Structures are given as C-alpha cells and as structure tokens.
Amino acid sequence: MNVIDQITAEVARATMKFPTWPTDPLHALAVLGEEYGELTKAMLQLTYEPHKTTPEEVRMEAIQTAAMALRLAMSLDRYEYRRGEQHKQSSEGDRFIGRDVREIEALAAKGLREDGLPD
C-alpha cells in the first residue's frame, strides 16, 4: 500500500474510532499538535536512542499526523472562528526579571512576593 493509501486508511480508521471532531479550530489544532508531538518524539528517539523505536514506528506516527492534518483540513469550513475569552495579567511577572532561576523557584515555592509578604 502506498503512503497516500495508508493515510486515507488511517483517516477512515480514526474517524470510525472517533467519529466526532472539534468545532473549535484551536482544539482541532491541538489534536494535530498531539500527533505531531508523538512524531517528534519517535523521530528524536530514532535519531538519538534508536534502541527505543523503529523506522516503522516513525512511519506510523507520520501517517497518523498526516491523517489528523487531513481531518483538520476537511473541517475548515465547519469551524467556529470565535475569539476566546481573555483576562488581563498583572505585571507581577516583572519581579522575576534578572533573577536566578533558583531564586525564582524559591519565591514560587514559598508563595511570597519579592518583599517577602504572602501573595
């Protein structure tokens, strides 16, 4: 079976297993991102830790990623493109600029502001 046939077979298999697909485009993209992450892991392992995977595993992950990309593309006209709710964040993050990572971790663990008072 050629790669295109494998991808379309995977789309069919995945659609039978998971017949619904997100209407929110960002959730659909997250599904694709999860598959891409698995492909990245397999590719990295094949490159740096070849005892942990096989070329066949990388191919399978690539086919699954392509299938999810197709599913995402198949629904482009069905997504509800709406701005999500957002909230403002304070500039308290500025207190960490220029600090050593260990100092930031210690402040976070204590739940203290930089002046030593509780958050």
Looking at the fold, whether 43 and 9 belong to one and the same domain comes out as yes
Residue 11 lies in a domain: yes
Residue 85 lies in a domain: no
Phi/psi of residue 118, nearest 5 degrees: -60, 150
What is the pLDDT confidence band of residue 74, given thresholds at 50, 70 and 90?
Answer: very high
User: Which residues 6+ apart lie within 8 Å of 67 measured at CB?
Assistant: 7, 10, 11, 14, 35
The number of folded domains in the chain is: 2
Residue 104 lies in a domain: yes
Distance CA 106, CA 76 (A): 46
Distance CA 7, CA 16 (A): 14
Looking at the fold, whether 58 and 100 belong to one and the same domain comes out as no
pLDDT at 100 over 70: yes
User: Which domain covers residue 99, as residue numbers?
Assistant: 94-119
Quote the pLDDT of residue 115.
54
Residue 49 lies in a domain: yes
The residue behind tokens 């079976």 is 1
Q: pLDDT higher for 103 or 32?
A: 32
